[in-house]
Amino acid sequence: MLEVRGLTKIFGGLTAVNDLNFTLGTGEILSIIGPNGAGKSTCFKLIASFLNPTSGTVRFNGKDITGIGPHAVARHGIVRTFQENTSFQDMTVRETVLLGYHKDCKASLAGMIFRSPRARKDERAAGDYADHVLDLLGMTHLANTVSAALPHGMLRNLGIAVALAAKPKLILLDEPFAGLNSDETKRGVELIRKIRDEGVTPILVEHDMAAVMSVSERIVVVSFGSKIAEGTPAEIQQNEKVIEAYLGAEDTEIGL
Amino acid sequence: MQKTISMPNVNLSQGEQRSSSLKPVGLGLLIAAAYFVAIPLVFGANGYLLNVFTTMAAVSFISFGVWLTFAIGRINLAQAGFALIGAYVTAILVSRLGISFWICLPLSGAVAALLGGLIGWPVLRLKGVYFAMITLCITEACRLTALSFPALTNGAQGIVDLPLPGELSLFGLTIIPAFEKGARLPFFYLAGTMMLLGLWFMWLLDTSRVGAVFRSLRQNEDLASSLGINVAKYRVVAFMVSCFYAGAGGAFFATLQQNVYPTTFQVLDSVYFMVYCFVGGLEFVVGPLVGAVVMMSSFELLHDFHRYQTVIFSGLMILCILLMPNGILSVIKRRSGKSEEAPNA
Ligand SMILES: Nc1ncnc2c1ncn2[C@@H]1O[C@H](COP(=O)(O)OP(=O)(O)OP(=O)(O)O)[C@@H](O)[C@H]1O
Ligand SMILES: [Mg+2]
């Protein structure tokens, strides 16, 4: 479904992503891990077209989608979430999720403004889908809460909810468990399986190793922008290079 | 880190949803009744006051556009520039080609919107101070352009002695009779009609999905684009609608004054249009109208202070913005919000 070939991004002199190759099958749960600054988020931004790669291509279901722009990528069915809490501050949870559905609205601009039958049909569909998504994430009771008033855990969830509302085929989750407690993380892992069972293929970038090992079917490890290993969780745990990369990273962290 | 969710927020938004369909319609009717019935009854004989109300309505109309660009998170100081464009389009077409004002009015809006789209496409990538600065330059550029093409615009002499609007008829049926020389009421009614139509459209837009998309752009363009929303397209659409309001409003003023000069709309006017939005409140569609009415009436009421009029007025304006940073309507809303909450508590 997704095919990343020779993906490279150079910021000035810094190679953030270096000749990255990987593929992903429909319904597979893939994780990308690596020490801080390894280039994981940059890789997501390249796939989602928030950044243009220096070289390399991204193909999705056979189509070249490299650098076509964020909204165009979303319309192909790839939606990303953000590493930092990202929401529409003044909007309620439900309003936010309704907006997530936007790309599937068929009515014209004028139709939306003057409430054409098409637009009203869109709104009903959006409403139904929003209710479904909120139910899936256990956020129904928060539907009318303004985003700015949400606790951290629910903001992380809202990020996923709004992305799901856009009906993606592939969802790029950038550290969905960052800052969550172990209970919330456990529910998050369940959620990712549920999402997959609904027909949305997830890719995770995540630092919580326990969660990554339990949920992933395959793991890609990057360090300094390059892929250093790829395999099942069991294989990755045994991999010499991976252990080295993480130990190296820990050294520098201690050094800080 | 666990914060409890504050309940007033929840109550407030539910309350808003419930009453959202009835209240605005009532408010619209109230404004219409006040403008079309009460004012002519009370002040109908006072030509000067009728002119003031006419100007108020037309200026509110233009300011609605600025309000919409605020909705997408841009401070728009180009409004006077596009109003000048609209004014010249009408003046040139009416005086040179003898085209009916009733065609020129929407056409001026359309021309301004089209130019706004062309200019807006690259410029709308900027935000904050940068966008404000460049739109200010656009207003100034429009004035200079009007000066530099005397063959078309008659330069600093301006285009004068524009004819009054003729009769508007459809299939031989007179819909609007020709405007008579010296009569104030026709312009008064025309401005009111434009203002109400403009307000109605803004309200429709703001409460529609398109309005929600606009507000999402103000809050986070990245998140919006990640959801498949074509950010560039929507902000250009917002800007074009804004420019349409400017263009049509400019056409109205050109015809009201029966002349256009490069100085008819200047940077200062752009600033005023923006201030009306601030003073009224950016959260509310009627904000620009409230702002324009309050500001312009207080200016008129200060008339007796003669040469201190502008100084006192400017002081009041500063006070207004300092004391009510979210506009007059936000204060009223907070008041009524409190009284509604009381029974719950
Ligand atoms: N816009 C940018 N301009 C310049 N350098 C950047 C930019 N974005 C990222 N970088 C650099 O690229 C490298 C990779 O960053 P990236 O955010 O992809 O890391 P990451 O793997 O997501 O790290 P973390 O786990 O901390 O989120 C970092 O050294 C970062 O400083
Ligand atoms: Mg990251």
Q: Is the Cβ pair B13, A144 closer than 8 Å?
A: yes
Q: Is the CB of A36 under 6 A from ligand 1?
A: yes
Given this model, what pLDDT does residue A166 score? 95
Domain assignment present for B162 = yes
Q: Is the CB of A210 under 6 A from ligand 1?
A: no
- Residue with the nearest Cα to atom 2 of ligand 1? A11
CB-facing half-sphere around the CA of A92: CA atoms within 13 A: 22
* ipTM of this complex prediction, to 2 decimal places: 0.92
Query: CA distances (Å), A229 to each of A202, A242, B239, in order?
Result: 20, 7, 50
Amino acid at B135: T
In degrees and rounded to multiples of 5, residue A62 shows phi and psi of: 85, -15
Q: Is the Cβ pair A88, B204 closer than 8 Å?
A: no
Chain A residues 77-96 within an 8 A CB cutoff of chain B: 79-82, 86-92, 95
Q: Which of B2, B219, B229 sits opposite A103 (nearest CB)?
A: B229
Using the Cα atoms of residue B143, residue B148, residue B150 and residue B153 in order, give the sign of their dihedral. negative
Domain assignment present for B121 = yes
Domain assignment present for B276 = no
User: Range of B101's domain?
Assistant: 2-14+23-266
Count CB atoms within 10 A of the CB of residue A111. 19
Distance from CA of A217 to the nearest CA of B (A): 26
The pick from A7, A8, A9, A11 for probing ligand 1's pocket by mutation, whose C-beta has the most ligand atoms within 8 angstroms, reads: A11
Q: Which two tokens stand for residue B323?
A: 């004391």
Measured between beta carbons, the chain A residues lying within 8 angstroms of B229 are 71, 74, 99, 102-103
Q: Are A219 and A30 in contact (CB under 8 A)?
A: yes
Given this model, what pLDDT does residue A253 score? 42
Domain assignment present for B299 = no
- Residue with the nearest Cα to atom 30 of ligand 1? A37
Q: What is the 3-state secondary structure (H, E, C) of chain A?
A: CEEEEEEEEEECCEEEEEEEEEEECCCCCEEEECCCCCCHHHHHHHHCCCCCCCEEEEEECCEECCCCCHHHHHHHCEEECCCCCCCCCCCEHHHHHHHHHHHHCCCCHHHHHCCCHHHHHHHHHHHHHHHHHHHHCCCHHHCCCEHHHCCHHHHHHHHHHHHHHCCCCEEEEECCCCCCCHHHHHHHHHHHHHHHHCCCEEEEECCCHHHHHHHCCEEEEEECCEEEEEECHHHHHHCHHHHHHHHHHHHHHHHC
Q: Are A100 and A167 in contact (CB under 8 A)?
A: no
For residue A249, is pLDDT > 60? no
Distance from CA of B201 to the nearest CA of A (A): 8
CA of A173 to the centre of ligand 1 (A): 16
Which of B4, B11, B209 would you mutate first to test chain A, the one with the most A CBs within 10 A?
A: B209
CA of B216 to the centre of ligand 2 (A): 24
Identify the closest residue of chain B to A165 by CA–CA distance.
B227
pLDDT in tens, A18-37: 999 999 999 999 999 999 99
Given this model, what pLDDT does residue B6 score? 38
Domain assignment present for B336 = no
For residue A169, is pLDDT > 60? yes
Global pTM reads: 0.90
Q: Which residues of B242-260 are buried (b: 16+ CB within 10 A; e: fewer)?
A: bbbbbbbbbbbbbbbeebb
Number of domains in chain B: 1
Domain assignment present for B183 = yes
Domain assignment present for B150 = yes
Each residue's pLDDT expressed in tens, for chain B with a length of 345 residues = 444 333 333 333 443 444 445 588 889 999 999 999 899 888 888 889 999 999 999 999 999 999 999 999 999 999 999 999 999 999 999 999 999 999 999 999 999 999 999 999 999 999 989 999 999 999 999 999 999 999 999 989 999 999 999 888 888 888 888 888 888 899 999 999 999 999 999 999 999 999 999 999 999 999 999 999 999 999 999 999 999 999 999 999 999 999 999 999 999 999 999 999 988 888 889 999 999 999 898 888 887 787 888 888 888 888 887 888 788 888 877 776 555 444 443
| Nearest ligand by distance to the CA of A222 | 1
Q: Is the CB of A16 under 6 A from ligand 1?
A: yes
Domain assignment present for B83 = yes
Q: Is the CB of A14 under 6 A from ligand 1?
A: yes
Given this model, what pLDDT does residue B13 score? 40
Q: Is the CB of A144 under 6 A from ligand 1?
A: no
